[in-house]
A and B are shown apart, each in its own frame.
Chain A
Amino acid sequence: MAERLVATAKRWLYTTNHKDIGILYIITSLFFFVAAGLLALTMRSQLSVPNNTVLNDEIFNQFVTVHGLLMIFWVLSPFAFGFANYIIPLQIGARDLAFPRLNAMSYWFYLFSGVMIILSFFFGAAPDLGWTFYSPQTSFEFAPTIGLNLGAGALILIVVSITMSSVNFLVTMFKMRAPGLKLSRMSLFPWSILITIFMMLYAFPSFLAAVLLLYVDRAFGTFYFSSIQGGSLLWDNVFWFFGHPEVYIVLFPALGIIGDVIPTFARRPLYGSKYVIGALVAAAVISFIVWGHHMFLTGYGVITDKLYTVTTVAVSLPFDVIVISLIETLAMAKLRLKAAALFTLGAVALFIIGGITGVYLASVALDYALRGTYFVVAHFHYIMVGGSIMGLIGGLYYWFPKITGRMYNESMARIHFVFSFIGFNILYFPMFLLLDMPRRIATYTPDTGWGLLNFSATVGGFIFGGAQLLLFYNLYRSLRSGPPSGPNPWNGWTLEWALPSPPPAHDFDTIPTFSDDGTIHFGSSIGLPNGSSHGDGITKPDSSSIGHGYSALHAEGLSPWPILMAFAAFIFFLGLTIGKPANPQPVSYQPFWPLIADGVILGLISLLGYSRERFTVHEDSHVESWPFRQVPNMKLGIWTFLGAEVIFFGVLIGAYFFVRTAAPTWPTPGTVFEIRNGFAMTLVLLTSSLTAIMALASGRAGNRNGLIVSLAGTLALGVAFLYIKAGEWFTLGSGGVFNSYPLPATSYFITTGTHGVHVFAGMCMAVYLLANAIKGKYVNGDHVTLEHFGLYWHFVDIVWVFLFPLFYLI
């Protein structure tokens, strides 16, 4: 018995299987959904009548902030990516994601980051300034609470998780598709995920930079966002530059689910599917140039006002195409109104209302009255709850049979829909009428007249929240005793329906192939085109294990390093964020070194374990991989990651430009930062790039001595760089540069410091490589690791190539 328990624990803690990880994401996100939902219901109780005393102002502010953070980061995207993890490899005919252990690591980073945000409640106070963290109220001066630090730490962890996932999914979807499955032949769900991860890759590094700068401002007293020379505006720009693509990131997967579900239940193909895909791409692209509509009232001038009105209004056009196409799909259809269809159709209807009201907010003139009111709250809840959550719940009903092998109770699901839909509208529609009421206020007075609408909204909230109980009860009961569902209960065409429910651990026996005429061949996999199956027939699921059939093949995929690595990062960031203030002057935080040290040690051990572990990934050779046909997965992964790094450093450098332009004066070159030092560092780093490329050349040529010398040289030069920088920092710091030149010091230390961390990481890698080279590796055709190191190292060099003139010469 105990043995079974240990085996189950090991399986779930060490799994790298995409289906297991998908289930973990879905269950965890539902947990956070309930938590954030309870926060919301408490707030609604507080707001149901004027001058209420359920929550005081402090607690209310924390609740509203954590509700937003949890829903956006810990519920919407993870819920969607739970499905993506489970279903996408099946839909594209891959056996797993490109980097299974990285995938597991993404999940554990996500889980621990969620723990951190919940922990913040117990460390004095949770973050309490809105999920938007406006400056300067989030500076240490105005918010000297540990809660915001923990919030920042949790956000950094989840951004790391998301970036790892982005790289993983991008490589997988480009490089591991079944033969004949051109990108244009994918259904809408994989397309929506593909577009979402593009947006994630390029938007989240901006957020990471912003949160990092905020943390540094708070912990070390720098002045990025607290300065009155544009600090508020800098945060506003950098945050919303991420923030707007983010709200599309949480929407698109649901649109993808809707685009898969409606055609299945309408028994007709999606109308204009290539236009829908084109519209999604267009919306994703435009989403990066509309962020100014969150800043309409900051006073940036009439031309910028009009520009953002036009771009924001333009972004509604692709959504019109998508909505019309979804509706036209229903023409001449044979529509079965099962739960998934009800929820996705309901989602479309609510999305339409949300989208129309978005156009109101796109008008800068109307925004002068609607800014910061419940009209905005209603708008985005119609999209995020009405569009996204309802669509995701539709996905849950849609794929529940596939994942568990059991059918849920259809009548209960329909009742769930009816109460959800009605409750939703009673909850949120009154908020449009509350367009005078400010957001995020803990209470209001009776003379405002807002009492009745608020009370109605609260009633709706309880109906909507209560209805979700039906969901959980239905799924729980069906999991235990629902009837077997069979492989294809909905008669869908996408590949997951060709597998048994639930699929075996290895997914397809033979990868399906797509011929030119559009037929799909399944080889010897069970579940043939007409829904019947050979041999096994409908597998009888047992409730003891979802995805039964775990064999030695699966045990091979277990690895402890992802969870250990995530835990190490968790402890590290906990140490960085829970330290008490050293003393009131200067305002700063004292990091809690014991935890930081533990985190670093555990992290290094995990990294070592991870790299030395023998982990085999089955790679099929005949796959669709346009346009990266000759690029190996790992190399593609690294280049993808570097793309994200470009944004990250781009935002850091952009912040420097911003701060410098807004500042009235700036020291002339050479007065604060010695050009000599910068010149020396540049020469050192450029030479190290040369030695790095020589190392690769030696490895290729089988020249062991040359390799060792080159690697040692790279290491020495990198260390020299860090040594010169340390000396420079020491001189500047002890010379009081922060007092004499606060803003130049701030931008200099943070930007070159972040770069320095990257150099340090490169040095750690170089040590590892050198140790291996001495043992004789990399000279027998296995030099590809050197190439990968080189890609990273040369990128670090390129960043410095820009930092040197920007910080020393101008």
Chain B
Amino acid sequence: MNTNYLYLIIFAILIGETDIEVNLSSIISSTTYVTVLLGIAATKAILIAMYYQHLKYEPRSLSVWIILGIVIASLLMSLSFVQLSYHSFHYGSS
């Protein structure tokens, strides 16, 4: 299929997903909402990366940089959160 046409389709999907994101909060519970939102954001990101940034057609090795970066950033986030979950914060003087 014509690449320009493909770009337009991806664009339409992205806009559609954004619409869903904004209108979803009223339908599902808040904790599921966060997960779903992040999931939608992730699919958008993957679509942009694969088709607009052309990663789908590049050698697999190129994606490595980004994937490594994501893994390492998530290490920071996850391990810091393990810490936070054991914390109790005391505000003001006791």
B18 touches A794 (CB 8 A): no
A798 is an interface residue with CB less than 8 A from chain B = yes
Partner of B83, one of A292, A639, A646, A686: A292
A801 touches B69 (CB 8 A): no
A697 touches B66 (CB 8 A): no
Q: What separation, in Å, do the CA atoms of A172 and B4 have in the docked complex?
A: 34
Q: Which residues of B contact A694 (CB under 8 A)?
A: 4, 7
Q: Which residues of A contact B14 (CB under 8 A)?
A: 686, 689
Distance to closest chain A CB from B85 (angstroms): 8
Interface string of A676-687 (1 = CB under 8 A from B): 000100110011
Asked, given contacts A289-B79, A686-B15, A810-B34, whether A802 binds B41 with beta carbons under 8 Å apart, the answer is yes
A801 touches B48 (CB 8 A): yes
Q: Interface segment, A484-492, A525-533, A541-549, A624-632?
A: A624-632
Q: Which residues of B contact A679 (CB under 8 A)?
A: 18, 22
A148 is an interface residue with CB less than 8 A from chain B = no
Q: Which residues of A contact B3 (CB under 8 A)?
A: 697
Interface string of B34-64 (1 = CB under 8 A from A): 1001101100110011001110001101100
Asked, given contacts A654-B76, A661-B84, whether A686 binds B18 with beta carbons under 8 Å apart, the answer is yes
Q: Which residues of B contact A303 (CB under 8 A)?
A: 82, 86
Distance to closest chain B CB from A480 (angstroms): 46
A342 is an interface residue with CB less than 8 A from chain B = no
Q: Which residues of A contact B87 (CB under 8 A)?
A: 230, 233, 299-301, 662
Q: Which residues of B contact A642 (CB under 8 A)?
A: 65-66, 69
Q: Which residues of B contact A635 (CB under 8 A)?
A: 62
Asked, given contacts A686-B14, A689-B48, whether A202 binds B62 with beta carbons under 8 Å apart, the answer is no
Q: What separation, in Å, do the CA atoms of A693 and B65 have in the docked complex?
A: 22
A690 touches B7 (CB 8 A): yes
Distance to closest chain A CB from B31 (angstroms): 10
A640 touches B52 (CB 8 A): no
Interface string of B1-34 (1 = CB under 8 A from A): 0011001100100110010011001000010011
Most chain A beta-carbon contacts within 10 A, residue among B7, B8, B74: B7
Q: Which residues of B contact A238 (CB under 8 A)?
A: 76
A805 is an interface residue with CB less than 8 A from chain B = yes
Distance to closest chain A CB from B71 (angstroms): 9
A288 touches B72 (CB 8 A): yes
Q: Which residues of A contact B45 (CB under 8 A)?
A: 798, 801-802
A647 is an interface residue with CB less than 8 A from chain B = yes
Distance to closest chain B CB from A692 (angstroms): 8
Asked, given contacts A304-B82, A686-B14, A686-B18, whether A664 binds B52 with beta carbons under 8 Å apart, the answer is no
A399 is an interface residue with CB less than 8 A from chain B = no
Distance to closest chain A CB from B75 (angstroms): 6
Q: Which residues of A contact B21 (CB under 8 A)?
A: 804-805, 809
A301 touches B86 (CB 8 A): yes
B91 touches A664 (CB 8 A): yes
Q: Which residues of A contact B65 (CB under 8 A)?
A: 639-640, 642-643, 646
A657-699: which residues lie under 8 A (CB-CB) from chain B?
657-658, 661-662, 664, 669, 675, 679, 682-683, 686-687, 689-690, 692-694, 697
A206 is an interface residue with CB less than 8 A from chain B = yes
Q: Which residues of A contact B48 (CB under 8 A)?
A: 689, 794, 797-798, 801
A415 is an interface residue with CB less than 8 A from chain B = no
A790 is an interface residue with CB less than 8 A from chain B = yes
Asked, given contacts A304-B83, A639-B66, A809-B37, whether A657 binds B77 with beta carbons under 8 Å apart, the answer is yes
Kindly report which residue of chain B lies nearest to residue A641, judged by CB atoms: B65
Most chain A beta-carbon contacts within 10 A, residue among B3, B80, B81: B80
A628 touches B62 (CB 8 A): yes
Kindly report which residue of chain B lies nearest to residue A630, judged by CB atoms: B59
A30 is an interface residue with CB less than 8 A from chain B = no
Q: Which residues of B contact A669 (CB under 8 A)?
A: 25
B37 touches A693 (CB 8 A): no
B61 touches A627 (CB 8 A): yes
A380 is an interface residue with CB less than 8 A from chain B = no
A228 is an interface residue with CB less than 8 A from chain B = yes
Kindly report which residue of chain B lies nearest to residue A701, judged by CB atoms: B4
B76 touches A810 (CB 8 A): no
Q: Which residues of A contact B22 (CB under 8 A)?
A: 675, 679, 809
B73 touches A651 (CB 8 A): yes
A237 is an interface residue with CB less than 8 A from chain B = yes
A790 touches B84 (CB 8 A): no
Distance to closest chain B CB from A579 (angstroms): 32
Asked, given contacts A636-B62, A639-B62, A646-B73, whether A801 binds B91 with beta carbons under 8 Å apart, the answer is no
Distance to closest chain B CB from A199 (angstroms): 10
Kindly report which residue of chain B lies nearest to residue A700, judged by CB atoms: B3
Top 4 closest pairs, chain A to chain B, by CB: A650-B73, A301-B86, A646-B69, A643-B65
11 CB contacts below 8 A, A to B, read A202-B72, A230-B84, A233-B87, A307-B82, A628-B62, A662-B84, A683-B18, A689-B48, A693-B52, A791-B53, A809-B25
Q: Which residues from chain B sit less than 8 Å from chain A, CB to CB? A: 3-4, 7-8, 11, 14-15, 18, 21-22, 25, 30, 33-34, 37-38, 40-41, 44-45, 48-49, 52-54, 58-59, 61-62, 65-66, 68-70, 72-77, 79-84, 86-87, 89, 91
- Known A-B contacts: A679-B22, A694-B7, A802-B45. Give 8 more (CB < 8 A): A233-B87, A237-B80, A292-B83, A303-B82, A646-B66, A650-B69, A697-B7, A805-B21
Q: Which residues from chain A sit less than 8 Å from chain B, CB to CB? A: 202, 206, 228-230, 233, 237-238, 241, 288-289, 291-292, 295, 298-301, 303-304, 307, 627-631, 635-636, 639-640, 642-647, 650-651, 653-654, 657-658, 661-662, 664, 669, 675, 679, 682-683, 686-687, 689-690, 692-694, 697, 787, 790-791, 794-795, 797-798, 801-802, 804-805, 809-810
